[in-house]
Amino acid sequence: MKKIAIHFEREADGRWIAEAEGFPGVLAYAATKEEAFQAAAALCLRVILDRMEHGEAPSVAIVDELFAVA
């Protein structure tokens, strides 16, 4: 499974920015790096779900990792 890369940057005021590679617009600001990571990951999942609901293929193979046809 291809993992989603989350890139971090730290602002001059100490806030962390997390940006998801391959997910335009997925950008999260937070007080800590962990909080920024969690927010960006949650946004990625929302994007994947939205794409699935609209009949678009997910950007990653997360669906195959999470679900199996019984």
Which H helix or E strand runs over 14?
none
Closest C-alpha to 36, from 20, 12, 17, 55: 17
Q: Quick one: average pLDDT of 7-23?
A: 95
What pLDDT does 13 receive?
96
Closest C-alpha to 52, from 64, 40, 63: 63
Backbone phi, then psi, for 36, in 5-degree steps? -65, -40
What ranges make up the beta strands (E) of 1-70?
Answer: 6-10, 16-20, 27-30
What's the predicted TM-score (pTM) here?
A: 0.80
In a domain, 44, yes or no: yes
In a domain, 37, yes or no: yes
**Residue range of the domain that includes 50:** 6-66
In a domain, 1, yes or no: no
Please count the structural domains in the chain: 1
In a domain, 36, yes or no: yes
In a domain, 31, yes or no: yes
Q: Quick one: average pLDDT of 38-47?
A: 93
What pLDDT does 48 receive?
86
In a domain, 17, yes or no: yes
